[in-house]
Amino acid sequence: MAGVKTALNSEATTILKDNISWHHPFLSANTTPWQLEGSILGLKAAGFSDLVAVHNNTVVTDPYKGGRLNKLAQIYQRYRIEEKYNFLPEDITWEIYRPKAKMKALDQIYPEGIQIPTFFSGKNVIHLPTMKCHIYTTTTGAMKNAFGGLLSTRRHYTHSVIHQTLVDLLAIQQEIHSGIFTVMDGTFCGNGPGAPHHDSSGEGAHSCGF
């Protein structure tokens, strides 16, 4: 109903970019298992069978532990979906990318060149964020989810210009991906001084209590 067949290229590989903000099973902070499984089943039914998951590393979260505790790893195994990690050289290599669009911030943060994962070029991407607050972006979703996957470890320097960075990231995504789609889960929401939450970049940002 949301037009996934129009948004994505059916002949291209589709990257599943889940969001493990905190490796403990906080359902409003991380991609939920039903969100992931429903997306996989929906994609397969729509003819998108070439699926691969890509995870990013952070300074505060363990993506292996996060996938296991949040019941995502089991789903990838059930549907035989390969998992890649953008911090493992044997999985993902990085290359300097020169955007066609004029950058608002990233060219200043990365004066030696903006590096992105080579694997991302020419592929669809499905973002799987949850609806939540964020200390820098106010709310966080698909655009912030690209933050951890597309940018290298120097990305924490962008927090002072986070809004401009997200505009830059969207421009880069539109240039490199064959299609972009998002399935956001808002089943669980929270507000107030709840459990500490770190965003997908792992730079210690706290949510409004998820």
Residues 33-63: pLDDT tens digits? 999 999 999 999 999 999 999 998 776 788 8
| pTM, rounded to two decimals | 0.85
Q: Which single residue is written with the structure tokens 């929401």? A: 189
Instruction: Supply the mean pLDDT for the chain.
Output: 84
Closest CA to 43 of 142, 186, 187, 181: 181
Q: Is residue 152 part of a domain?
A: yes
Domain that holds residue 71: 12-182
Query: Is 30's pLDDT higher than 50?
Result: yes
Residues in Cβ contact with 110 at an 8 Å cutoff, skipping those fewer than 6 apart = 154
Buried b / exposed e along 52-77 (16+ C-beta atoms within 10 A)? ebbbbebeebebeebbebbbbbebbe
Structure confidence at residue 112 (pLDDT)? 87
Please say whether the beta carbons of 102 and 174 come within 8 A.
Answer: no
Report the alpha-carbon distance of residue 26 to residue 157 in Å, rounded.
Answer: 26
Report the alpha-carbon distance of residue 95 to residue 116 in Å, rounded.
Answer: 6
Report the alpha-carbon distance of residue 93 to residue 32 in Å, rounded.
Answer: 28
Q: Is residue 44 part of a domain?
A: yes
Query: Is 166's pLDDT higher than 60?
Result: yes
Q: Is residue 173 part of a domain?
A: yes
Report the alpha-carbon distance of residue 99 to residue 109 in Å, rounded.
Answer: 14
Structure confidence at residue 194 (pLDDT)? 42
Report the alpha-carbon distance of residue 86 to residue 91 in Å, rounded.
Answer: 7
Q: Which single residue is written with the structure tokens 């698909």? A: 142
* Residue with more model confidence, 151 or 49: 49
Structure confidence at residue 37 (pLDDT)? 98
Q: Is residue 76 part of a domain?
A: yes
* Residue with more model confidence, 1 or 134: 1
What would the pLDDT profile of 100-139 be if each residue is shown by its tens digit?
A: 999 999 988 888 888 899 999 999 999 999 888 777 667 7
Q: Is residue 135 part of a domain?
A: yes
Total count of domains within the chain = 1
Q: Is residue 196 part of a domain?
A: no
Residues in Cβ contact with 147 at an 8 Å cutoff, skipping those fewer than 6 apart = 155, 158, 165, 166, 169, 199, 200, 201
Q: What angle separates helix 162-176 from helix 142-150, to the nearest 10 degrees?
A: 80
pLDDT-derived band at 4 (thresholds 50, 70, 90) equals very high
Q: Is residue 153 part of a domain?
A: yes
Q: Is residue 46 part of a domain?
A: yes
Structure confidence at residue 201 (pLDDT)? 42
